[in-house]
Homo-oligomer: A and B are copies of this chain.
């Protein structure tokens, strides 16, 4: 496989110049709209912001997830790559895990509605969940394994379950100031350090 291809990233050969321009315009507009109206903003709103028709959006990003993934791909990538780096640099594997989860939470919490979209099985969001899991689950697994091997946390925790739980905890952070997912996630990590539950 010579080219990067996949979905929204790099040009993918032999597309018309105006099409490429539109793709970039769309990504910029979507990023902007996501900030103010959340990731499930009306398609029409994004189209209007970008100055294109709805057909153009659906042609470039068939499902909503494709658009969201394209917008946040860089940040997800950065988070994924931070895993091994933290593991190499931190005081201990568990410290690395804690820091990495901090990055993940920061990312989710600053993107309005993203956490909710991540588990929403309906709409075209299914692919979003898939992308996040495929990209980040192995990273999380590596950190977990290292911490287990170091004897810092109990074994048996599945990375998928942990990530999904953290994602769920980040849902709806904005709606009530009394709710701060970080405290609960800290509790979860403390729980991991317990040798065994009764």
Please indicate which of the listed interface residues A157, A179, A184, A186 has the most CB atoms of chain B within 10 Å of its own CB.
A184
Against B, the Cβ 8 Å flags (1 = close, 0 = not) of A167-184 are 011011001101111011
Q: Is A124 an interface residue (CB 8 A)?
A: no
A165 to B169, Cβ gap below 8 A? Answer: yes
The secondary structure that dominates the A interface is: helix
Assembly stoichiometry (copies):
2
Against B, the Cβ 8 Å flags (1 = close, 0 = not) of A146-166 are 000000000001101110110
Interface footprint category on A = 20 to 34
* Residues of chain B contacted by A179 (CB below 8 angstroms): 160-161, 164-165
Q: Is A29 an interface residue (CB 8 A)?
A: no
B188 to A188, Cβ gap below 8 A? Answer: yes
Q: Is A187 an interface residue (CB 8 A)?
A: yes
* Residues of chain B contacted by A103 (CB below 8 angstroms): none
A168 to B161, Cβ gap below 8 A? Answer: no
The smallest C-beta distance from A106 to any residue of chain B, in angstroms, reads 18
13 pairs across A/B with beta carbons < 8 Å? A119-B175, A121-B172, A158-B178, A161-B180, A164-B179, A165-B169, A165-B184, A171-B171, A186-B191, A187-B192, A187-B197, A188-B191, A190-B190
